[in-house]
Amino acid sequence: MSTQLLEDRILPFQVDKLDIRGRVVRLGPSVNKILDAHDYPKVIADILSEAMGLTVALASSLKYDGIFSLQAISEGEGAGPIKALVSDITSDGGLRGYAGFDADKLAALGDDSAPTVENLLGTGRLAFTVDQGKHMQPYQGITALEPGSLSECAHSYFQSSEQLDSAFKIAHGESGICVVMIQRLPDETGDDEEAQERWNHASIMLKSLTEEEMLDASLGLADLPYRLYHEDGVRVYETNTVHQECRCSEERLVTTLKGMPMPELKDMIEEGGTTVTCHFCSTDYAFSKERLTELRDEKEAEEAVKH
């Protein structure tokens, strides 16, 4: 009997009595399509799934028109097997993700390694970027990778850099991935002690949510915040959808190839052509010797006009 997948949906909610807003994110088919394009070891698939769930949760709390991305980069002497972990989503809900890793380093960890930051990424940095196009300055926040989970790194970033208390609960299994995120709203009462008590209560209740509940596709999205905060009054809003979407195209690759140094382009022609594989969706784009020669001629003509 096949497992029922979670819906690819986001539910915003708010609890006024506790001064919190939140998101319930569930991802099923979209994440499966992304993972199925690669033969990832389970431990890599698990941390990439977490990255994608976190990306959707964080992006859904922002107002932007463009692309929100999360990128974890492993670097330095303490770098782990994963070289780069990337996940992004468009404001229209198009999600993609990719993990590049060193297979030998991963094998050295053993089969029982947990999908933690210290095991798979080690030292490095976590970056959040909002790109709204060439006419607007991108916003980027960066924090150091810390032991634990990616959500704990995100929590540290928001608390230290944005002065915004956030809490996350993440679960993933055969039905997909689920993220419940809450963020503390500004207190307008002036009673710091009472506000802190409300936030502590909200955080404790979030921890009480079980992974079984989060991954149970028979439960509706709204069931989760209602189970947590029904005594405090929950308001839910219209849901948004998510879908797998890679933005690669032959047109984009043509632009990239024509932007390469002429010697490199000529080397590809002498080698009889080249095939470019998209990191995100594994689609192969083949460029024959004849097509590359056309691109070389176009590039030479364009450069001649400039001079």
Residue 188: its pLDDT value, please? Answer: 67
Q: Determine how many CB atoms are found less than 10 A away from the CB of residue 213.
A: 16
Residue 153: its pLDDT value, please? Answer: 86
Residue 238: its pLDDT value, please? Answer: 94
Exposed / middle / buried, residue 236 (Cβ in 10 Å: 0-12, 13-18, 19+): middle
Q: What is the pLDDT along the chain (307 residues), one digit of tens a residue?
A: 567 999 999 999 999 999 999 999 999 999 999 999 999 999 999 999 999 999 999 999 888 889 999 999 998 888 999 999 999 999 999 999 999 999 999 998 887 778 889 989 999 999 999 888 777 777 888 888 888 888 888 888 877 766 778 999 999 999 999 999 999 988 766 678 888 899 999 999 999 999 999 999 999 999 999 999 999 999 999 999 999 999 999 999 989 988 888 889 889 999 999 999 999 999 999 999 999 999 988 888 888 777 6
Judging by DSSP bridges, how do beta strands 240-241 and 243-244 pair with one another?
Answer: unpaired
Q: Determine how many CB atoms are found less than 10 A away from the CB of residue 4.
A: 13
Separation of alpha carbons 154 and 127, rounded Å:
9
Separation of alpha carbons 108 and 80, rounded Å:
11
Residue 162: its pLDDT value, please? Answer: 65
Residue 138: its pLDDT value, please? Answer: 77
Per-residue HEC secondary structure of 126-179 comes to EEEEEECCCCCCCEEEEEECCCCCHHHHHHHHHHHCCCCCEEEEEEEECCEEEE
Judge if 9-244 and 250-306 fold alike in CATH terms. Answer: no
Separation of alpha carbons 131 and 273, rounded Å:
33
Residue 152: its pLDDT value, please? Answer: 86
Residue 25: its pLDDT value, please? Answer: 97
| Domain spanning 250-306: CATH 3.90.1280.10 | yes
Per-residue HEC secondary structure of 208-223 comes to CCCHHHHCCCCCCCCH
Write down the pTM of the prediction. Answer: 0.90
All structural domains of the chain with their residue ranges: 9-244, 250-306
Q: 9-244 maps to which CATH number?
A: 3.55.30.10
